Structure 1
Amino acid sequence: MNNNSKLCGDYVAGFVDGEGCFYLTYRSEMRHERAGSPTYFRWTPYFAINIRADDREILEKIKNLLNCGHIYLLKEGSMAHYIIQNMDDLFKKILPFFNKYPLRAKKRYDFELWSQALKIMYKHKKDKTRCTPAENQKLFAIRENMRAYKSKMTRGYKNSPNH
């Protein structure tokens, strides 16, 4: 690929269909100062692309196009990892990007679930409030649907007669 060439949005969406991943993680926190204190959940959405380190140039171009995120080398330099964790960047850049340039493969279902969760979390970030118990239940359900979807994809790939 020419070093000066820019990527188009449809190319990036196709690349993400194959190599990208939308994540939703959480950490539980319990206040121990008071008996019967509630458990709080700290939700973290992020978007990542992992590829071989010798293809890092494409990640640099994607990062330049999206204007956010960081690139790291993993596994003793054999893998390159592009990650976006900043909630504002996810909500204001990544969400609109994939709404404008939709994913075409099965990963679009993962994105749809992830974007529902992101909207819930962003509302609370903006308002500086915590998720309600009902919203936490919704986030757990979304996360489980995402995990089940990813598990089915992996099983299908491993059992594929072509591999």
Structure 2
Amino acid sequence: MSDKLTKNFPSIKQATPVNSLEYKFKGIPDPYWIAGFTSGDGSFQIRLRKLNTNIGYRVSLLYSFHLHIRDLDVLKGLANYFNNSSENLISNDKKVGISSDKSVHLQIAKFTDIKDKIIPFFDKYPIEGVKSLDFEDFKKVCKLIENKKHLTPLGIKAILDIKLNMNQNRKF
């Protein structure tokens, strides 16, 4: 406890520090583990960036994780699972990055990787729970992009409507 807490709460005894167990990542046991891990810690995101074009936006999809640095091996394991290379992460524009706040992130954003690897994977090994709804919305936007609807004002509106009702904005 800090000196200030000790002074303000003298009747509370300081706890004896306990050594916590250290988790050693032993690899991904099966594909359903990835589905469960994604349900708990993963994120399906739709990004719209303003541009000076006729449509006015660039649409991209992002499958990502942001974890404590102690979980770096887990993210490398995920990267390896999807591509056998934690360096490339499916393709060269994927990242396992280390942030200054002692956290790590994995981001997969290349459209062909999302369409050809991530979506088929989760179709085969479904996510359970609320995040499955975000995945279904993510798939809808992928289909809109695949059909070039993101290049039309109506398509952008549809994508924006989907995005505004995903993740923390979802209404039940």
So what's the TM-score if we normalise by structure 2? 0.73
Which whole-Å CA distance do the structure 1 matches of 2:121 and 2:82 have between them? Answer: 8
Kindly report the root-mean-square deviation, in angstroms, between the aligned alpha carbons of the 2 structures: 2.0
Unaligned runs of 5+ residues in structure 1 are 32-37, 154-163
Equivalent position to 1:55, from 71, 76, 93: 71
Which whole-Å CA distance do the structure 1 matches of 2:104 and 2:68 have between them? Answer: 6
Query: 1:14 deviation in Å?
Result: 0.2
- Please state whether the residue corresponding to 1:75 is helix, strand or coil: coil
Contact persistence 2:141–2:159 (CA under 8 A): yes
Partner of 2:155: 135
Query: 1:151 deviation in Å?
Result: 3.7
So what's the TM-score if we normalise by structure 1? 0.77
CA-to-aligned-CA distance 1:78-127 (integer Å, 9 cap, x gap): 11101001111011000001101100021000111111001111333xxx
Which whole-Å CA distance do the structure 2 matches of 1:72 and 1:90 have between them? Answer: 19
How many residue pairs match? The answer is: 139
Query: 1:150 deviation in Å?
Result: 1.1
Return structure 1 stretches of 4+ with deviation > 3 angstroms.
none
Unaligned runs of 5+ residues in structure 2 are 1-23, 84-89
Q: Which has the larger radius of gyration?
A: 2
Query: Which structure carries more strand by proportion?
Result: 1
Query: Which structure carries more helix by proportion?
Result: 1
Percent identity (aligned) = 24
Query: 1:39 deviation in Å?
Result: 4.0
Equivalent position to 1:74, from 86, 93, 99: 99
